[in-house]
Structure 1
């Protein structure tokens, strides 16, 4: 069993300076409390308890990430209703301002104002956005998002999008809405969270079809759900084919196990050191750069 103290040594043995985790959450405290309350009550919603492993302060969680050798990470926050995205975006901008290892992260919601505030953030240099179709209860191809997708396609700014139907399906989850958006904006830089689980194969099809569509490993290949996507015969060879398009993601701090278990899940795939190097560091650097870290 791999533990958090082991993670820096794993990266070092691979010749990596550390880990690039594309799916980390830091949020305004009042929002994070609500997220944790959702997971605390998640037993009836997803069929099992969901204890949050890392409930410390922002400073404590930053220290935990850095002690594990996580060198680059976002502060993903996601709007769950109209009118809240600008507040969350102001908070995440301030959060990242004095943290060179943290990507400047933002969010948006299908509302008329998004056609203004998203381009403004792009022009100001924001590095990544996060949207959550299930939590926000909106369709990826909502008409109010059309100018937003157009601006993001033109800028190439990556968007981490949770559109898969796990851990609990929503009205608009699944690949259809994302596929419709990409049919009009094929240059969009989308990172499909959680490999798109459980619709992994369908989201891999989108990554095959579109040059700038990638997937992250968040909560994939762990024991928590009792089903490993790689156990499906067609998924394993596709993980190798898509080696250059898969990025490490963890969902820290909102995970019901040690961070190291996500890394252990990647090791157990036994897809080779080159695959691990790309997923755990190289692909993130190619997409975002390595920041002000001197590597």
Structure 2
């Protein structure tokens, strides 16, 4: 059962301490400008069409409290996943995220983009200024990753080796450009692109594992996958777990904190419950992310 309560700090810490880890690396957490986050929460509260289900926000706290919670859980590195849904929004979000990372130890400087005039310029500026990870949301943004306006962007990011966490699966509902086919065409042109497939590509899990097996720089994040909530919506096929074990060096912890309808501990417990072994779990909870972002040893 999902643990009760929203904090459960000791429960989270005990799980990674048992494994001898220095903490967690979470590649999929959301920090946004206050008014943007409020709109996101309003959307979930209204049972928006991209979710269609009741989605109570467990960590509906002010920004400082949310940061303190992550640190309490033992998350030593995390992201501020931002994403635009229209033109002339991405550069402003990038400026906010740069400031947030500068004043928030442990936050990996995050940036984003949208197919629009000037996109290559502001992505290059973000990379040169130290962006560590980008977010692309094909479902919310409603754009094709193969849009010609993004071609130079993908090439730039592939050359720089900066990872892109990309929401490209068709869950919770399909978008015009979601699914493995558009991403497959993108990777065929940019095989060195370091894509991190959010939610393991839910619900097209097997198809996105195919891409990860074909392209060594493709990774999968665990965001919401295997939790009771996600299993009700789109269960991960039990028959595919052996493939997941084989890809253990390219699976990364993601949580969707704070926008999750259950306590943070449940994501970690769900991964532990797969029974894929402590070595696999250590890699997913910390080591793979620490290696991807070249975090200092502690």
TM category, shorter:
over 0.9
Deviation of residue 109 (structure 1)?
0.3
C-alpha distance in 2, partners of 1:96/1:241? 34
Q: How many residues align?
A: 292
Instruction: Give the structure 2 partner of residue 137 of structure 1.
Output: 142
Contact 1:43/1:50, CA 8 A, preserved across alignment? no
Structure-2-length-normalised TM-score: 0.95
Contact 1:158/1:188, CA 8 A, preserved across alignment? yes
Q: Deviations over 1:251-279 (max 9, x none)?
A: 00000111111011101101000000000
Cα–Cα, structure 1 residues 227 and 81, in superposed 2: closer, same or farther, change >3 Å? closer
Instruction: Give the structure 2 partner of residue 245 of structure 1.
Output: 250
Structure 1 residue 232 corresponds to structure 2 residue 238? yes
Q: How does 1:1-295 map to 2 (within 5 A)?
A: 2=3, 3-42=8-47, 45-225=50-230, 226=232, 229-233=235-239, 235-290=240-295, 295=298
Cα–Cα, structure 1 residues 190 and 267, in superposed 2: closer, same or farther, change >3 Å? same
For residue 161 of structure 1, give the secondary structure of its aligned residue in structure 2. strand
C-alpha distance in 2, partners of 1:275/1:228? 23
C-alpha distance in 1, partners of 2:294/2:253? 15
Deviation of residue 98 (structure 1)?
2.5
Contact 1:186/1:210, CA 8 A, preserved across alignment? yes
The answer for unaligned runs of 5 or more in structure 2 is: none
C-alpha distance in 1, partners of 2:48/2:85? 21
Q: Deviations over 1:193-216 (max 9, x none)?
A: 000000011111110011110000
CA RMSD of aligned residues (A): 1.4
Cα–Cα, structure 1 residues 271 and 228, in superposed 2: closer, same or farther, change >3 Å? farther
Structure-1-length-normalised TM-score: 0.96
Deviation of residue 43 (structure 1)?
6.0
C-alpha distance in 1, partners of 2:24/2:196? 17
Contact 2:202/2:234, CA 8 A, preserved across alignment? no
Q: Deviations over 1:158-189 (max 9, x none)?
A: 00000001112111111111111110000000
The answer for unaligned runs of 5 or more in structure 1 is: none
Contact 2:203/2:234, CA 8 A, preserved across alignment? no
Contact 1:192/1:214, CA 8 A, preserved across alignment? yes
Deviation of residue 25 (structure 1)?
0.4
Cα–Cα, structure 1 residues 43 and 181, in superposed 2: closer, same or farther, change >3 Å? closer
Q: Deviations over 1:213-236 (max 9, x none)?
A: 000000100001315644431x10
